[in-house]
Amino acid sequence: MAKAKRGQKAKAKKPRQSSPSENEDGPTDASKRFNMAVKQEDGDFAPQQMGRKRKRQDVPSASAMVQKKTTLKKEDGEVSSGTPRKRVKKEAEEKIEEEEEGPTVSTKRKRTKKEIEEKEEGNTVSTKRKRTKKEIEEKEEGNTVSTKQKRTKKEIEEARALKIKKKEEEEQQRWRWWEEEKYEYGVKWKVLEHKGPWFPPEYQPLPKDVRFYYDGQEVNLSPAAEEVALFFAQMLDHEYTTKEVFRNNFFKDWRKEMTHKERVLIQDLNKCDFGELHNMHKQKVEARKSITKEEKLVIKEANQKIVEEYGFCLLDHHRERIGNFKIEPPSLFRGRGEHPKQGQLKKRIWPEDVIINCSKESRIPEPPKGHHWKEVRHDNGVTWLASWTENIQGSVKYIMLNANSKLKGEKDWEKYEVARRLKSCVASIRQHYQEDLKSKQMATRQRAVALYFIDKLALRAGNEKEEGETADTVGCCSLRVEHLTLHDHLEGDDWVVEFDFLGKDCIRYYNKVPVTKKVFKNLKLFMENKQGGDDVFDRLNTGLLNKHLSSLMPGLTAKVFRTYNASVTLQQQLRELSNMTNNQAEKMLSYNRANRAVAILCNHQRAPPKSFDQSMANLQTKIDARREQLVLAKTNLKEAKKEAKSSSDPKLQTVVERKKKAVERCEEQLLRMEVQATDREENKQIALGTSKLNYLDPRISVAWCKNMEVPLDKIYNKSQRDKFAWAVDMTERDFQF
């Protein structure tokens, strides 16, 4: 069934071939401009945000990159507050460039202390550590009973020993797969054994006193209908349940789960009263919050048991953690953005739906009692342990290994090696697509412009999507005319392309980019005589693009450019921003700034935290209070000065000094808080984690830590260190991406 795809290439009107003269740019400013950009560093064409744009921030009239990329999501007709906010943001950013350390210092300091303690005392349970700390204090005060002291000392020692032992054990157990020879192509493992996935518990019907009403009348729902009703009731506080599409999809699927009788009765969602179900759920959540320590421990231990049993597998004689060993429980589908399928029932997965993959000679996992697997296969050409087909999109879901596993790590390493290979040939590739901008073939020109965007702006490839199956999002190749606005001149720049579209996860990409004359002219040509809904690149798709790329360099695809430009940007920014003479907090600041530059380049955003406005307001009241305090301190100082002048008492002079100090301290604190506020505002919508985890070659960071003498755990937490163990182990300080 060939469903209509948005922007059918065949339908799009064929743009006429341009005459050569029309596109002959000649050695104009355009090419000079481009060359300038190309010349960034090591002959690298620095990506737009960090290269050209960032530089231009210094020019007063130029607006900062951050502000250009307005980050609001386009949802529910929420209008992105473009300009007014931008101004604020720009000032904010400039300040941060100088002062960001305020908040960073404080949080970092805290962590440092904590971590030092961890190091010294061993990886003890927090309660233990707390007690120890307390007791040390008591000891210092000389208030403690001697027996207690002794125990404390002993405890500390024991804990320390335990930690060291544990660390050693961990190190010893770590599979140093990166020192082993790789398997032949296509072979992912030789032996794979596991227990199969963990299944969520079956539905437990509600107690009788929790009732559902239809049209004011109590209805005793069948278990199947009740389960689905509860999914909806649990979400009542969520915005989803107010959306028309969500409600309709839910209601339609819910009715499918009803008995005939129920279906006849329940015809209108608006007449459904889920109040008691909703309240029960809320109470449960509350109850969970206020349980005792003991109960918490019991739950924790039960969870640990599950992890112990199902959370690991044996891969080629090494115990490896599984990333997602739990079968996804049934629920209402929560698509991102305006997803046409939001609210549909995501059905319960039974063992009968699940395919198991393991080695022949291993112990085959046992299906839950009374059930059987859909299939057991032994395919060592794939990495998954189990899979099932999900009912919303009909796509396959997999159970795979954790990021710290060999299978994932090796692939990750490979990814960065491919990106590094791109580094050595990126110059010629750029030259190549510059040439292609003048091609007689429309398809070639389109490919060249698309590549230019992918390289310069780190856009994703942009596959075609089936209309009506997913939210309407695009990437580079699937850009439509309505997503671009061409400006011959804009804000002092020539040939500016204004991008405004929803990308992956319905994250808005908004950017105004000065491009070369050739690119600009080509775009005009591509968009000529087209409607807003037509594809800009009607002769291009990701397959064609990637085919071309792989002919330029083995393994090269569109997404390699993202990895490459992200990593290169990090390295360059680190070199530019960090300084050995800085203190640790300042070094951390430069690292985070470099990281942030990449996040901006890759357009990694998050929704502002729920409590954002509140915590912002709290901070503001603190600032106001401090400000008042400062005024008071200043008047006090004046008074003191006056008195000191009119009297010859030398004591008064010291009073003046003291008051002066107080004013200074107050000013300092005020500044720090203001910077913190600015920083928080700035980071409101920027997510650093994704780039750190997926785009930045960890060896750059490891080498930086070594060179800067910053402990690695300042930039990578435990799981990140585990994921990047290969890089931590092999990277020397002279590593260059």
Phi, psi (deg, nearest 5) at residue 390: -85, 145
In the set 97, 193, 390, 467, which binds DNA (CB under 7 A)?
390
Q: Which of residues 710-729 bind DNA (CB under 7 A)?
A: 717-720
The reply on whether position 107 binds DNA by CB under 7 A is yes
Among residues 54, 90, 194, 339, which is the contact residue for DNA, using CB under 7 A?
339
Taking residue 212's Cβ as centre, other Cβ atoms within 10 Å add up to: 22
Residues ≥6 apart with Cβ < 8 Å to 588? 104, 108, 710, 714, 715
Share of the chain residues as helix, strand and coil, in percent rounded to the nearest 5: 55, 10, 35
The site string for DNA over 353-372 (x = CB under 7 A, - otherwise) reads --------------------
Query: What is the bridge-based pairing of β-strands 355-357 and 375-377?
Result: parallel
What whole-number distance in Å separates Cα of residue 196 and Cα of residue 366? 7
Quote the CA–CA distance of 459 and 430 in Å, as a whole number: 16
> Residue 616 and residue 596: Cα distance in Å, rounded?
21
Contact 673, 618 (CB under 8 A): no
Could you say which DSSP state residue 62 is in?
S
What's the min distance (Å) between Cβ of 239 and DNA?
A: 8
Q: Which is nearer to DNA, 33 or 684 (CB)?
A: 684
Site membership for DNA, residue 595 (CB under 7 A): no
CB of 221 to DNA, least distance (A): 23
Which is nearer to DNA, 256 or 288 (by Cβ)? 288
695 is catalytic: yes
Give 148 or 634: the residue with its C-beta nearer to DNA: 148
- The residue range among 92-100, 334-342, 420-428, 520-528 that interacts with DNA, by the rule CB under 7 A, is 334-342
Q: Which of 240, 310, 416, 695 is catalytic?
A: 695
Of positions 39, 167, 190, 411, contacts DNA by CB under 7 A: 411
How many CA atoms are closer than 13 Å to the CA of 589, on its beta-carbon side? 22
Min CB(291)–DNA separation in Å = 10
C-beta of 219: minimal distance to DNA in Å? 27
What type of residue is 45? F
Structure tokens at 404: 């710290």
Figure out which of the listed residues 504, 524, 634, 660 binds DNA, where binding follows CB under 7 A.
504
Which residues are CB-contacts of 394 (< 8 A; sequence separation ≥ 6)? none
Contact between 558 and DNA per CB under 7 A = yes
Q: Which of residues 613-642 bind DNA (CB under 7 A)?
A: 614-615, 618
* Tokens 């690695």 found at: 712
Q: Cβ closer to DNA: 416 or 520?
A: 416
CA dihedral (671, 673, 676, 682) positive or negative: negative
Does 242 bind DNA (CB under 7 A)? Our answer is no
Q: Considering only CA atoms, which of 583, 473, 494, 479 is closest in space to residue 532? A: 479
How near is the Cβ of 114 to DNA at its closest, in Å? 5
In the chain, the amino acid numbered 158 is E
DSSP run (H or E) holding 321: strand 318-321
Which listed range, 25-33, 205-213, 425-433, 500-508, lies at the site for DNA (CB under 7 A)? 500-508
Piece in contact with DNA (CB under 7 A), picked from 92-100, 142-150, 461-469, 625-633: 461-469
Q: Which of positions 302-321 make contact with DNA (CB under 7 A)?
A: 303
Residue from 114, 256, 440, 489 binding DNA (CB under 7 A):
114
How many binding residues for DNA (CB under 7 A)?
Answer: 98
Is residue 602 at the binding interface for DNA, with CB under 7 A as the rule?
yes
* Max CA pair span of the chain: 100
Min dist CB 604 to DNA, Å, is 4
Contact predicate 487/45, CB 8 Å: no
Select 522 or 683, whichever has its Cβ closest to DNA.
683
Looking at the annotation, which residues are catalytic? 695
